[in-house]
Structure 1
Amino acid sequence: MKRGSTLFLKTAVVLMGVPVLLLCIFLVPEIANFAAELYPDHTYLKYLVFLVMYAAAIPYYIALYQAFKLLSYIDKNDAFSQISVEALMKIKYSAISISVIYVLGLPLFYLIAERDDAPGVILVGLGLIFAPLVIAVFAAVLQRLLQEAINMKLENDLTV
């Protein structure tokens, strides 16, 4: 396969990391300060916001790195290999861990929504939980399909 055939997708993967980095730099401190202003007696809420948001960014970047590696394997004609299956597995686990982090942080979203009287914040929190779950299911399906294709390929190689 041509080396540049996945260049667009690699660029998209890199560009997916930029908005999250900007959100982590500029928006997360604002949200944390807002939470601290809503509950001046509980200043630790500010640090919980930092913990939830930055902890979710780590598996996000791991998943992006694995997607970039997967595209590199496709460029090298190693798409149907065990390393591609492992990359998909890591993407799946990263997406699951993002969902788990936001499930654990959902009470924090509830506290902010309750004090600010903004029920939409809960919906945003639920979206942050279910979007990575959809990605995890998709990665699991791709992982299984790829593993079955590899097994078929190995079986055909042995019969020839």
Structure 2
Amino acid sequence: MKRGSTLFLKIAVMLMGSPVLALCIFGLVWLPSHPVDPHYDHILYPILIGVFLTVIPFFVALSQAFKLLSYIDKNQSFSELSTRALKKIKYCAIIISGLYVAIMPFFYLLADRDDAPGLLFMGVVPLFASTVIAVFAAVLQRLFQEAIDIKSENDLTV
């Protein structure tokens, strides 16, 4: 495969990480020091901590996706390295889902107190998106592992 054939996807991975990094640096740091209402602090801080914690597995998953694209460039797409990268992406997505499940009650309390039902949607979208990514990574990991097994079986039958 040509070396630059996955260039678009690598750029997309970098572009996905840049707004999240900007939000972490500017938005999530600014929000606790400028709350709209100080009575929301006991609800807002667990949400901010949860969102900050989800950033770590998010960037780990992005780096693994970048590695996976590099493996594809090097014609090592059906290798043990690719399966490990997909496994790490799957675990990161599961961790993100778990963290959002943990902070969903706080999203509910905030939406209930502020009388904004659309705010609850802000917690549900990342939860379902990361669950879909975890399932997709698991399916791809299984597919890659089966291809590796078939490839090693064919190498043995000479």
- Aligned match for 1:105, one of 103, 106, 111: 103
CA distance in 2, matches of 1:109, 1:50: 11
Secondary structure at 1:39 match in 2: helix
CA distance in 1, matches of 2:34, 2:135: 34
CA distance in 1, matches of 2:140, 2:33: 41
Matched, 1:19 2:19: yes
1:117 aligns with 115
What percent of counterpart residues are identical?
58
1:83 aligns with 81
How many residues get paired? 158
Q: How do 1:1-150 residues align onto structure 2 when only pairs under 5 Å count? A: 1-29=1-29, 31-32=31-32, 37=37, 39=39, 43-150=41-148
* Counterpart AA for 2:37: E
**Pair 116,44 (structure 1): closer, same or farther in 2 beyond 3 Å:** closer
Indicate the RMSD between aligned Cα atoms, in angstroms. Answer: 1.8
Output the TM-score relative to the length of structure 2: 0.92
CA distance in 1, matches of 2:22, 2:120: 23
How big is the shift at 1:44?
Answer: 4.5
CA distance in 2, matches of 1:34, 1:68: 36
CA distances 1:70-110 after superposition (whole Å, capped 9, x unpaired): 00111111111001000000000000100100100111111
CA distances 1:40-71 after superposition (whole Å, capped 9, x unpaired): 5xx44443233111101110000000000000
CA distance in 2, matches of 1:107, 1:24: 22
**Pair 107,53 (structure 1): closer, same or farther in 2 beyond 3 Å:** same
CA distance in 1, matches of 2:33, 2:135: 35
Contact (CA 8 Å) 1:38, 1:115: kept in 2 or not?
A: no
How big is the shift at 1:32?
Answer: 4.0
Contact (CA 8 Å) 2:47, 2:106: kept in 1 or not?
A: yes
Farther off after superposition, 84-93 or 22-31: 22-31
CA distance in 2, matches of 1:154, 1:137: 26
Gaps of 5+ in 2: none
* Counterpart AA for 1:119: P
CA distances 1:116-144 after superposition (whole Å, capped 9, x unpaired): 10011112211121110000000000000
Secondary structure at 1:2 match in 2: coil
